[in-house]
Amino acid sequence: MELIKEICKLESKINEKLNPNNVVVRILGDEDKSKGKIIILKDNKIHRGFKLNIISCYQINIIENNREIETGLSINDLGKWIFNLYNPIEYLYVFYGGQLNGKVLDRKEINKISNETTIDFHEERERGLLVHRKELDNQPMVEGYLGPMFDKIDYGKIYLRYETQEVYNMLSN
């Protein structure tokens, strides 16, 4: 199965979601079956362009201006990723283990129990250094929990997870 052809099939669904933003996405294959392109038109003008590199049977890296800006993105999340480029994003914080087990907090709620944030590595990322995902910059840290860790992406939402050491150890084995 050619993954780029599968990604091209997502184009109409992605465009349906982006229609209110006056954004149209075009996904193109390449002679090299492990590569492709995304062209984004906003207000009928080319707004952004990305190169796609397939890295596994369902994951891609996205390159803009010769820089990888997203690595290991599941093709099932491509539409959500593009949607989030053009819409406000709400961060949600999911807890596993401990007193907060099963809770999903918004930013206002988590700020009440956090007294520290993660480091902002945007400058290092711009220089091409390998650091944590951009979604983890300036995020709340919670005593007694490891994290934040990237969990998943959705339309207009990014979920970050926090785990107790016990849960982390169970999931790591």
The pLDDT tens digits of the residues spanning 48-67 come to: 999 999 998 889 999 999 98
Which class is domain 3-85? Answer: alpha beta
Q: What's the confidence (pLDDT) of residue 127?
A: 81
Q: What's the confidence (pLDDT) of residue 7?
A: 86
Residue 33, number of CB atoms within 10 A of its CB: 12
Residues of the chain within CATH 3.30.505 domain(s) are 3-85
**Mean pLDDT of the chain, nearest integer:** 92
Of the given ranges (58-62, 72-76, 125-129), which has the lowest mean pLDDT?
125-129
Residue carrying the six token digits 């401990």: 98
Q: What's the confidence (pLDDT) of residue 73?
A: 94
Q: What's the confidence (pLDDT) of residue 45?
A: 96
pLDDT-derived band of residue 132, with 50, 70 and 90 as boundaries?
A: confident
User: Can you give the length of the chain in residues?
Assistant: 173
Q: What's the confidence (pLDDT) of residue 1?
A: 45
- Token pair for 27: 């996904």
3-state secondary structure of 139: coil
Which residues have C-beta within 8 Å of that of residue 84, sequence separation ≥ 6? 153, 155, 156, 158
